[in-house]
Amino acid sequence: MPEAARIWSVAALVRAFTDTLSARFNPVEVKGEITNFTRASSGHCYFSLKDDGAQLRCAMFRRSAMLVDFDLHDGVMVQARAKVSVYEGRGDLQLVVDSLQAAGEGVWYEKFLQLKRELALLGLFDEARKRPLVAMPRAIGVVTSLGAAALHDVITALQRRVPHIPVVIAPAQVQGVGAAPSLIQALKSIQEVQGVDVVLMVRGGGSLEDLWAFNDKDLAHAVVQSRVPIVSGVGHETDITIVDLCADLRAPTPTAAAELCAQTRQTALETLDHMAQSLTGQLQAVLDAQGQALDWVQSRLGRPSALVAAHRVSTLHLQQRMQQSLSKRIQMLGQKSAAAQTALMRVVQSEAASKRQSQQQLGWRLHNLDPRLVLQRGYAWLTDEQNKPVTSVHQLSPQQELTVSLSDGEAGVRVLGLNAG
């Protein structure tokens, strides 16, 4: 009678597989590229090793992970020393890694480093060109896939923190062929929406290949040329993409990106309250200073009656000084006037004497020129019928009657003959 087939329990069968694999293969050394890397809060590391044909889940516990002397992340090519086992909770084949050695970078990671070096030389990662975020944006734009869990996380965070700010979503493909052009188009379209002051580019975690759309050169240039600041929240904290390096601000997760893009309403209200208190304090300080200055002026002024009396005394003193000055001025002008009058009289008298002397001299000269004095010396003065003086024989004619003026009278004569000399 044939022996009955053994009936295994699931747990017993899994343990049998584990014993068989352990006896046959352990330990093993496997070379592959890390993908889907995560580090738990306990310090344990979970990832997969893959090549072109297959991949294996791996677990590396904290005591072994602490001995790794290089950075673990997606895309790193490693050589692992491990034990083959089956994870009983899921029945999955896995490697429990005891140690890791770097075996060169993976193909995708090499491409990432090459593109990173190229864009760094172009200045796309320069911190100096990155812009600060608006403290209170009018609207927040989100570029991601409509079916992504990251979108739900972002919307939830924004509704919790800033429910008063509108959110505009630009759908885009975030993985696979055509993802990069889709992201570029979505980024361009959302910039045309009026009021959008910041844009979040987000997606959940994944392998380096899954996130490769965010390592596109054209997308990097589109991020740098964006009219509004860009906040990237791609993958987990350990995931670094080219978009993260180009963005104005990089957040470790999509939720963190939503929290960084705008301060909460409560924070804004607290800021306004603080500003109001500060302004009130400054205004009170100004009023106190003005009041103190007014008190000081009032103390300087004293009583108005005393001030008026002081001004009256000052005015009387000034009036007396003006009267004294005016009297002295009048006296000086009188003295100057008397002296001027005396000098004027002297000048007039001198001028009169000079005039009299000149008149006497002129009189003597006129006396000497008197024609009668000439006639007294034997000369005569002849005039014709028209009483015109005759000075030449050529003015005469025979029998012409003339008048002869002598020193003591006149006589009529007639020309008897002419003899020109």
Q: Is the dihedral of CA 412, 416, 420, 421 positive or negative?
A: negative
Q: Which amino acid is at 187?
A: L
In this structure, are 159 and 68 located in the same domain? no
In this structure, are 243 and 173 located in the same domain? yes
- pLDDT, position 276: 76
C-alpha angle 211/212/215, rounded to 5°? 110
CATH number at residue 168: 3.40.50.2300
The 10s digit of each residue's pLDDT in 187-232 is 999 999 999 999 999 998 877 778 899 999 999 999 999 999 999 9
Per the domain annotation, does 358 fall within a domain? no
Q: pLDDT at residue 2 above 80?
A: no
Contacts of residue 171, defined as CB under 8 A and 6 or more positions apart, other chains included, come to 144, 145, 146, 186
Q: Tokens 């895309």 sit at which residue?
A: 75
The 10s digit of each residue's pLDDT in 363-400 is 777 766 666 667 777 778 788 888 888 878 777 888 88
The 10s digit of each residue's pLDDT in 252-267 is 999 999 988 877 666 6
> What's the rounded Cα separation, in Å, for the pair 175 and 178?
8
Per the domain annotation, does 304 fall within a domain? no
- pLDDT, position 80: 92
Closest to 88 in 3D by CA, of 144, 16, 174, 153: 16
Q: How confident is the model at residue 146 (pLDDT cuts 50, 70, 90)?
A: very high
> What's the rounded Cα separation, in Å, for the pair 36 and 49?
9
Domain that holds residue 281: 265-297
CATH number at residue 19: 2.40.50.140
In this structure, are 22 and 86 located in the same domain? yes
The 10s digit of each residue's pLDDT in 271-318 is 777 777 878 778 777 877 787 777 777 666 655 566 666 677 777 787
Q: Which amino acid is at 371?
A: P
> What's the rounded Cα separation, in Å, for the pair 197 and 140?
6
- DSSP per-residue codes, 177-246: TTHHHHHHHHHHHHHTSTTEEEEEEEE----TTTTGGGG-HHHHHHHHT-SS-EEEEESSTT---HHHHH
Per the domain annotation, does 369 fall within a domain? no
In this structure, are 282 and 244 located in the same domain? no
In this structure, are 84 and 193 located in the same domain? no
Per the domain annotation, does 122 fall within a domain? no
Per the domain annotation, does 254 fall within a domain? yes
Q: pLDDT at residue 174 above 70?
A: yes
Per cent of the chain over pLDDT 90 is 36
Per the domain annotation, does 246 fall within a domain? yes
In this structure, are 88 and 195 located in the same domain? no
Element (H, E) at 291: helix 265-301
In this structure, are 235 and 293 located in the same domain? no
In this structure, are 18 and 61 located in the same domain? yes
Decide: helix, strand or coil at residue 284: helix
Strands 401-406 and 381-383: antiparallel
Last residue of one domain, picked from the residues 84, 105, 126: 105
> What's the rounded Cα separation, in Å, for the pair 188 and 167?
16
In this structure, are 151 and 249 located in the same domain? yes
Count how many residues are written for the chain: 421
Two structure tokens written together for 236: 């987990």
Give the count of domains, the chain. 4
In this structure, are 275 and 190 located in the same domain? no
The 10s digit of each residue's pLDDT in 47-95 is 999 988 899 999 999 999 999 888 888 888 898 999 988 888 787 889 9
- pLDDT, position 356: 81
- pLDDT, position 294: 74
Two structure tokens written together for 269: 């209200």
Helices and strands, counts by H and E, the chain: 11, 13
> What's the rounded Cα separation, in Å, for the pair 128 and 357?
109
Q: Tokens 């677990």 sit at which residue?
A: 59
- Alpha-helical regions (H) of 302-417: 304-368, 371-375
In this structure, are 93 and 174 located in the same domain? no
Position with higher pLDDT, 130 vs 313: 130
Closest to 137 in 3D by CA, of 190, 100, 178: 190
Two structure tokens written together for 363: 């009189």
In this structure, are 159 and 274 located in the same domain? no
Could you tell me the maximum CA-CA distance found in the chain, to the nearest angstrom?
A: 225
> What's the rounded Cα separation, in Å, for the pair 281 and 346?
88
- pLDDT, position 3: 65
Could you give phi then psi for residue 88, rounded to 5 degrees? -65, -30
